[in-house]
Amino acid sequence: MATQQRTVDYLLEQATAAGTVSTKPMFGEYSVYIDGKMIGSVCDDQLYVKPFASMPSPYRKLRRIQEPSCTY
């Protein structure tokens, strides 16, 4: 199942406080960037963020965000 554009739009709207957030289509899904650095992927309507030690504190608090109408 491919990611729906409305999911990407929702995630971008919700993440505005994290910095300059953008997405790019990649391999049929989307890669997610904050301030120009790739921080995760949106696959099958789910956001995956890989935390790493050098992430600034606000970014480490990000977890998998899912559109409210979706279930885990």
The structural domains of the chain, with segments of one domain joined by +, span 5-60
pLDDT of 8 above 70: yes
As a whole number of angstroms, the distance between CA 40 and CA 15 comes to 13
User: In this predicted structure, what is the pLDDT of residue 16?
Assistant: 82
- Rounded alpha-carbon distances, angstroms, from residue 7 to 31, 42, 54, 60: 13, 9, 28, 22
First to last CA, the chain: 15
User: In this predicted structure, what is the pLDDT of residue 42?
Assistant: 92
User: In this predicted structure, what is the pLDDT of residue 40?
Assistant: 86
Residues paired with 23 in a beta bridge: 32
> Residue 59 in contact with residue 18, Cβ under 8 Å?
yes
User: In this predicted structure, what is the pLDDT of residue 23?
Assistant: 93
The whole-angstrom distance between residue 43's C-alpha and the CA centroid of its chain comes to 9
Query: In the predicted model, what is the mean pLDDT of residues 1-18?
Result: 87
What are the tens digits of pLDDT across the range 17-71?
888 999 999 888 999 998 898 888 999 888 887 776 666 666 656 554 444 444 4
